Amino acid sequence: MLTSRASLRAHICAGRLAHVMAAHSPLSAILAEEAGFDGIWASGFELSALYGLPDASLVSMTRHLDMVRSMAEQSSLPIIADIDTGFGNAINVIYAIQQYERAGAAAVVIEDKAFPKVTSLLADGRQELIRTEEFAGKIRAAVATRADADFLVIARTEALIAELGEAEALKRAKSYEEAGADMILIHSKRKMPDEVESFVRAWRGEAPIVIVPTAYPEMNESRIRALGKIAMVIYGNHAIRAAVTAMKDVFARIRADGGIHRIDPEIVPVEEIFRLQKMDAVKANENRFLW
């Protein structure tokens, strides 16, 4: 039976498009698996939001690792860990790779921003990139450190986010591929897919492309497949946004109605939570072992 790492690599090598859903908790990871996604994006943005913090390198590696480990315990899907800038320089990356591999991640994504980073889609946000050579060193360190050859190292360039242009993005991506990156993640904050589509058409490397179409939702599966070079699409923050949407609506209605009597039939019953918690197994073990 293939491990989650081997299955993810095999999925990519077979030329099948991997649909990866963001998660910020074991519960959201379970729901992503039940919905039929191919992998889980252990999102730094979503975890920051869960803690009520800005996505600005404030969540520690320990906190993020704990969540990755908890999600790996509850889901069999490959987990792609969003480790931002790698928590420092190449030395920090070496330690991070060791820890995330042990925690059960199938892949990591490292971005070429300066630490501390600022979330990519923030209007007028500070977007500073480190030197190409320095980031290539981080990728080489990650590749040299992994113990499992199936563990994917994905290099993310923020050149388009920093408005440095397609030529710079392509140059950086090529350098990162030469450093050993298994895949290249290209990110954009444009409202239409044109910028990313242009990059993908111009890409001459062998490494498959990863995209995160949060800012340009018109980039659907048919458009992605038409480009032919994209191997993974990450739905980067929809779990936390859906959760916030639902909670705000339910909370407001309870206050407006003066109770739960109207909303209760419209939300999942507590028995559905019991199912997700695997309470049947608890009951079975109680019957078996508690005397």
Positions annotated as catalytic residues are 55
Q: How far apart are CA 49 and CA 221, in angstroms?
A: 27
What are the φ/ψ torsions at residue 120 (nearest 5 degrees)? -65, -35
Alpha helices in 119-193 (DSSP H): 132-145, 166-178
CA distance 162 to 123: 11
In this structure, are residues 231 and 209 in contact, taking their beta carbons and an 8 Å threshold? yes
Phi-psi region of 88 (alpha: psi -120 to 50; beta: other; left: phi over 0): left
d(CA 86, CA 98): 12
For the chain, give percent helix, strand, coil, nearest 5.
45, 15, 40
- Give me the helix-helix angle, 61-74 and 26-34, nearest 10°: 40
Query: Is the peptide bond prior to 78 cis by the omega test (within 30 degrees of 0)?
Result: no
Query: Is the separation of the CB atoms in 76 and 29 below 8 Å?
Result: no
Paired tokens of 105: 């991640």
Q: Hey, which residues does 152 pair with through a beta bridge?
A: 107
Q: How far apart are CA 250 and CA 222, in angstroms?
A: 35
Helix axes 238-257, 26-34, angle to 10 degrees: 110
- Reading the block at residue 5, the tokens are 């790492």
